[in-house]
Amino acid sequence: MQQIIQISTDKHNGLYDITSKVEKIVSESNVQNGLVNIYVQGATAGIMIQENWDESVQNDVVNLLKKLIPSGVWQHDAQDNNGDAHLKAGIVGPSKTIPIIDGNMGLSTWQNIFLCEFDGPRNKRNIVISIIYD
């Protein structure tokens, strides 16, 4: 089973909580045990599981990546000025897989799923949700 969700982003670099959208798809699938894979299409975005209690950790992630991978110093910037976005996306990765246990995602209390935007704002980011089960 597979569905695509679309997210618009309003920041150049930011984390966007998509947990409830994925939970809805898992719930509607009626799958009791399996896996759900969350995959963002595009070379300048990623998927991350991170703390959801407040925005401080999400802000820290963005600030850390900005410090580790500054903008404007990469060879690819000569093409379209987003070399840092490609590197950040490569480090974070485009997907995560979460177990489905008794019909629910196996996330802990403080875990949520985030789209990581590194080249926004964007009108549309496609995120492919794939559910695998026996």
4-37 pLDDT, tens digit each? 999 999 999 999 999 999 999 999 999 999 999 9
Q: Under CATH, to which class is 2-133 assigned? A: mainly beta
Q: In 10 A of CB 125, how many CB atoms?
A: 21
Domain boundaries along the sequence of the chain: 2-133
- For the entire predicted model, the pTM comes to 0.96
Q: What is the pLDDT of residues 86-131, one digit of tens each?
A: 999 999 999 999 999 999 999 999 999 999 999 999 999 999 999 9
